[in-house]
Amino acid sequence: GQQVMQIPQYQHVQEGEDFTTYCNSSTTLSNIQWYKQRPGGHPVFLIQLVKSGEVKKQKRLTFQFGEAKKNSSLHITATQTTDVGTYFCAGAATNKLIFGTGTLLAVQP
């Protein structure tokens, strides 16, 4: 079945460092979405990418959708302690949203 993998599984950074998480799908996607889940919280929708090669920015966050619509990345510039949490990509295909394995980000002040 369809799988969505993320790397790394865990990353620990110093505050101010950059962070990137990568998302790879086994199948071509109609769109990809990103969610953030704070410790003890629920997933919160961040953004949706639809077009091949699309790049979107939200303040310090940059999201990319690959040309083949099978991979995506989330880059955070100059991390802050408020960025702590697990970042999930979710790939949309065959009328279903498949959540990636997630990347847990820890930020040391």
Partner 1 sequence: SAVISQKPSRDICQRGTSLTIQCQVDSQVTMMFWYRQQPGQSLTLIATANQGSEATYESGFVIDKFPISRPNLTFSTLTVSNMSPEDSSIYLCSVGFGTNQPQHFGDGTRLSIL
Rule CB under 8 A: which residues touch partner 1? Answer: 1, 30-31, 33, 41-45, 48, 88, 92-93, 95-97, 99-102, 104
- Closest CB to partner 1 among 11 and 101? 101
Q: Least distance to partner 1 from the beta carbon of 69, Å? A: 13
Left, alpha or beta for 59 (phi > 0: left; psi -120 to 50: alpha)?
left
- What is the β-pairing status of strands 10-14 and 19-25? unpaired
Nearer to partner 1, 33 or 72 (CB): 33
User: Whole-angstrom Cα distance, residue 68 to residue 62?
Assistant: 18
